[in-house]
Amino acid sequence: MNIDELCINTIRGLAIDQVQAANSGHPGTPMGLAPAAYALWNNVLNYDPANPLWPARDRFVLSGGHASALLYSMIHLAGIHDVTHDGKVEQKPALTLQDLEQFRQFNSKTPGHPEYRHTAGVETTTGPLGQGLATSVGMAIAQKWLASRYNQQGFPLFDYHIYTFCGDGDLMEGISYEAASVAGHLKLGNLVWVYDRNRISIEGNINIAFTDDVAKRFKAQGWHIHEVKDANNIADFQAKLNEARQASDAPSLVILDSIIGYGSPNKAGTHGVHGEPLGPDEVKATKKVYGMPEDKTFYVADGVKEHFAAGIGKRGAEASQKWNALFAEYKTKHPELAQEIEDIIHHRLPKGWDKDIPVFEADPKGVASRASSGKVLNAIAKNIPWMVGGSADLAPSNKSWLEFADAGVFQSPDYPEGNGTFCGRNIHYGVREHAMGAIANGIALSGLRTYAAGFFIFSDYMKNPVRLASIMGLPIVYVFTHDSIGVGEDGPTHQPIEQLAHFRATPGIRTIRPADANEVVEAWKLAMGQDYNHAHPVILALSRQNLPTIDRSKYASAAGLHKGGYVVACCGELPEVILIASGSEVGLAMEAYEVLIKEGQKARVVSMPSWEIFEEQPKSYRDEVLPPHITGRVAIEQASPIGWDRYAGPTGTIIAMRSFGASAPYDKLREHFGFTLENVLAAAKEQLKK
């Protein structure tokens, strides 16, 4: 066989052997897609294996993460270097054959689905179908933004493309429609999706559930369509890739007809090769079809690695070296822009990013935390030029619009309404919460700082991408407003009840529900000031209704938010009853506290904006805030009571929501559901009797 066939069959053999060794996995898709992966990686992809963090590299996303054995084979054969968690490139391979042999094993570098930062060469964590597609749209948006701001005459620093492999399952997921719609509207000509149309899913031929005319669907969404009738015809596939690469006016979909499990005498083209090993006998029979040694496992033929080194290796090294020389010259001619680029590369914020953040004066009427958040966001974003973000058609309501003079709107220069620019800072996501969440992941993975805004209730649509952001450790800020029954007249469909409990239960997320405008300030400082190498997504749960601005000259500093929970008001000695609350209910607790103090009771108010951060504090601090022997406690929150017993204790009172809300003015809802001064005082006094 010629060298192309040898490389392709080596990829297939490695994928088969990984799955067989683990006795778990998906061999069929790698077997069918090996020719396409080979042609893209070795002949097209602009990527330097020795410098996998090169900023101008093409990105490859495997949306169907179940086919991870394909990606791991490519990483090994391409010779990608390893990268430490804190971003240092090492002079050793990212994946050895021994790593491939440990496929899907505990603590291996080859987990069942690709994981960002876990395996060098993996650009994003994928697994849940459709997520990789939408994330790649975020990467394409980021490239357009970087090019628009930083490319100068004679300095095309950011001209890379994003390539995504997807399958039938990806396109069945609703997020794929949302993401494709965004990409088509924005005319992202740097984006190429390769659709593996093998027509097989776990339950069988996809005709049982999926008969869409995919080409017409994408054409209607403004995409270029290319079709390759035989996945083994790498010349045809590469020609279509080149056509797609040249099409700058719209994203491209390459429809690739493949045979799942290609080469397997008894399983090719069936769902039997989708999600289980071939079995020892079928492995040998298949390798015989490929002309590969039947008795060898994890076999890499002589000349294969050298061929990759002469292809993607040589091409990538030359391109990255040329880029480094170009950037060195760029720094002399455009030093300020170059400094921004270096800050982006190294995940640094510019000096003085927090200099204009407002301080809010005490005010019994106060301001809604969504409104104070909008002011803080604008003050911060004005001083971080590479901060971009948007809302799912709710910016006027959640106050997430960047209003300063040069903020602009991210649109294609061909936007029919005029004034389109790819360097705009405001993104119109439309009513597409699910895609927005994954697109934000792609933007963050490209080095930009980003936020995504919506109503808290609609975070339900975003749970998957937010979860993946937490797994990846991305410092995305989610601005979720209308955080409680304070939504009022919109009723139970729009009033969050269980959402706080969900995000508090999700590892790695920092859920913050600020009590007033100055806690909002501290929440934004915390979210933006994170160390990138140990970052967490931050959820800001913000109110629709006004929150009194606490007099910080009389009560504790809002900086206590950085410890998750803190004593905001106290009698000056050990209390006999502790009122614990978050968000809008802190104001209610403060009202009750003042009454109790006037009556001579020993009371304390604890603001608990973030359980996760509070739990990270030393036990000594937590015991100082909530002395274990003080059992008289009342917890107050307009959400599910689940979890509050950890702070209220076994004998404490929890004033919370035990049902969905209702449609009525907010004051009526507060009264009906028990969030009144009288009810809190009664609970506190009952605790004092114990």
E strands, 319-457, in order: 363-368, 387-391, 426-428, 449-455
Asked if residues 465 and 437 have their Cβ atoms less than 8 Å apart, the reply is: yes
For residue 418, what pLDDT is reported? 78
Which regions of 188-282 does DSSP assign to beta strands (E)? 191-196, 200-201, 204-205, 224-228, 252-256
Question: What does the block give as tokens for 408?
Answer: 């602009």
pLDDT at 353: 98
Q: What is the CA radius of gyration of the chain?
A: 28
Task: Give the integer Cα–Cα distance in Å for 539 and 635.
Answer: 21
Residue type, 244: A
Give the integer Cα–Cα distance in Å for 409 and 145: 11
Q: Of 438, 388, 409, whose CA–CA distance to 133 is shortest?
A: 438
b/e sequence 650-674, b meaning 16+ C-beta within 10 Å: eebbbbbbeeebeeeebeebbeebb
> Per-residue pLDDT tens for 386-420?
999 999 999 999 999 999 999 999 999 999 887 88
Quick check: 81 and 89 in contact, CB under 8 A?
A: yes
**Residue 609 pLDDT:** 98
Q: Looking at this protein, which amino acid is placed at residue 490?
A: D
Residue listed under structure tokens 């760029």 = 330
φ and ψ at 100, to 5 degrees? Answer: -65, -35
Check: pTM over 0.95? Answer yes or no.
Answer: yes
Three-state SS for 604?
strand
Q: Give the pLDDT confidence score for residue 594 in this predicted structure.
A: 98
Which pLDDT score, from 0 to 100, does residue 417 have? 85
CA distance 657 to 675: 10
Q: Which amino acid is at 116?
A: Y
The pLDDT averaged over each successive group of 10 residues in the chain (690 residues) is: 97 98 98 98 98 98 98 98 95 98 98 98 98 99 98 98 98 98 98 98 96 98 98 98 96 98 98 96 98 97 97 98 98 98 98 97 98 98 98 98 96 89 97 98 98 98 98 98 97 98 98 98 98 96 98 98 98 97 98 98 98 98 98 98 98 98 98 98 96
**pLDDT for res 622:** 98
| pLDDT the model gives residue 690 | 85
CA distance 397 to 373: 12
Q: Which of 501, 521, 515, 500 is nearest to 545 (CA)?
A: 515
Residue 148 neighbours by CB under 8 Å, 6+ apart: 421, 422, 423
The 3-state DSSP class for residue 468 equals: helix
Burial class from Cβ neighbours inside 10 Å (0-12, 13-18, 19+) for residue 683 reads buried
Closest CA to 99 of 111, 109, 112: 109
Strand, coil or helix: what is 477?
A: strand
| Residue 400 in tokens | 């997430």
Torsion over CA of 473, 476, 477 and 479, rounded to 10 degrees?
Answer: -120
Q: What DSSP assignment string belongs to 484-523?
A: SGGGGGG-TTTS-SSHHHHHHHSTT-EEE--SSHHHHHHH
Catalytic center residues: 433
The pLDDT of residue 607: 99
Q: Of 74, 63, 72, which is closest to residue 35 (Cα–Cα)?
A: 74
Could you give the CA distance from residue 539 to residue 358 in angstroms, rounded to a whole number?
Answer: 21
Q: Supply φ then ψ for residue 237, to 5 degrees.
A: -60, -45
